[in-house]
Amino acid sequence: MLRYFWSEGLVYYSEKEVTDWQEGIRESCQLLLEKKIIKATYVEEIIKCIKMFGPYIIVAPNVAMPHASSQSDEVLGTAVSFTKLKSPVNFGDPEKKAQLFFTLAAKDPTAHLKNIQRLSELLMKERVIDSLMATESIEDYLKVMRRYES
């Protein structure tokens, strides 16, 4: 999955000083917007869902998996992007913060579930989260990618 992010041009190290989780979500969606995989309104759908249901997107310490409905009309293609923010953002609870964002967009429920499964398998690999947290650049990311290729 790490190679997928790289080969699809979906790896982003943000230099922006993000001040809240909404801005973090917007920043994590930038590559998907640039590649026209999602519309800007999908970003707002994600934010609305988090406001309604709480920080359900926090899947592990320092890891968020932003997504909204798998049947959104605001999604134009299927993809997952990786974004590392300059510093973690808090989702209203000290235990709910994230710096690594794996943002999902899917045209249908089957693709959505497949991407969640693939991402879950990646995140369960020993020390992969710690390794990604330690990266500061694309060059660091490539080293981690090579280490975890299977």
For the stretch 118-138, pLDDT in tens is: 999 999 999 999 999 999 999
pLDDT greater than 80 at residue 72: no
What is the distance between the alpha carbons of residues 62 and 48, in angstroms, rounded to a whole number? 21
Kindly state whether residue 89 falls inside one of the protein's structural domains.
yes
Q: What is the CATH number of the domain that holds 18?
A: 3.40.930.10
| Mean pLDDT, rounded, for 54-75 | 90
Q: What are phi and psi of 58, to 5 degrees?
A: -80, 110
State the burial class of residue 52 (Cβ atoms within 10 Å of its Cβ: 0-12, 13-18, 19+): exposed
pLDDT confidence of residue 70? 65
Residue 150 lies in a domain: no
Q: Report if residue 24 sits inside a domain.
A: yes
CB within 8 A of 141, min separation 6: which ones? Answer: 2, 6, 11, 13, 82, 132, 135
The structure tokens 């990618």 sit at: 145
Residue 40 lies in domain: 1-145
pTM: predicted TM-score of the whole model, two decimal places: 0.94
How far apart, in whole angstroms, are the C-alpha atoms of residue 67 and residue 73? 13
What is d(CA 150, CA 148) in angstroms, rounded to the nearest whole number? 6
**DSSP summary character for residue 20:** S
Is 41 inside any structural domain? yes
What is the tally of structural domains in the chain? 1
Mean pLDDT to the nearest integer, 76-101: 95
Q: Which H or E element spans position 46?
A: helix 40-53
Residue 66: its pLDDT value, please? 96
